[in-house]
Amino acid sequence: MLPHRSRSAASAAERPFLAPGWLIALLAAIVGLVLLLLYPRTDLERRLAETPDTALSATYLANLLRSDPDNPRLRLLLARQQLQMNKLDAARATLQPALDAHDEATRRAAWWMLFEITEGDYRRLPASATAERTALQRDMLRQMQQLAEQAPSLEQQIELAGKAYQYNAPGLGQALFKALAHRLDDPAQASALFERAARDALAHGDYRGCAVMPFS
């Protein structure tokens, strides 16, 4: 005959073990410390920049930024992660201090990303939200004009020109293409850049922007 097993003993055996919150926090801190010891900060930032856009990597970047709030690279990395995860409000809040950064490269990168966030706001509006879409289009045009004045790279200037046509600002698009013609000395480079811009324009349904690409 099997010995009788009390109900209290069975309940105790079946009850799962839950680690207390302080222990979980301690383990997370230890893991973070080990990572910092294994990899220099710049190498760790590079690895985080190359990781997929997941909530885990975004949370880790947020923790790093909290300990180093004046690090512009961390701020831009976190904002980029949040943007690609479609957390637009969080990305805008993260990005805000970088818009007034003393470093010109950081400031330009931040303003470019702000335009991408505004574009994300526009894209997620329903077609029926006519007034809101019109207001955001005006805001995007203002931002594109500001970006065009910041000496963007050739790739960015081509992208801006395509987007100008896409968002019904052909005057700005034509001006940007004319400025590009003066910047490009290498015909092969010019052709490759314009072909890439045309593919991007077609991918976004920007047939007018594609049609005016000067391939030759």
Other beta carbons within 10 Å of 49: 15
Instruction: Give the span between the Cα atoms of 148 and 161, in whole angstroms.
Output: 9
Which of the listed CATH numbers 2.30.29, 3.30.2170, 1.25.40, 1.10.3470 matches domain 31-124?
A: 1.25.40
Q: What is the mean pLDDT of the chain?
A: 78
Q: Are 98 and 142 in contact (CB under 8 A)?
A: no
Alpha helices in the chain (DSSP H): 7-14, 21-38, 41-50, 55-67, 72-84, 88-95, 104-123, 130-148, 154-166, 170-183, 187-203, 207-211
Task: For residue 87, give both structure tokens.
Answer: 């957390």
Place of tokens 């790739």: 155
Chain segment 183-209, per-residue pLDDT in tens = 877 777 777 767 776 776 677 666 766
Instruction: Give the span between the Cα atoms of 103 and 107, in whole angstroms.
Output: 6
Q: Minimum mean pLDDT among 110-114, 144-148, 174-178, 187-191: which range?
A: 187-191
Distance of CA 52 to the CA centre of its chain: 12
Chain segment 41-57, per-residue pLDDT in tens = 555 556 555 555 567 67
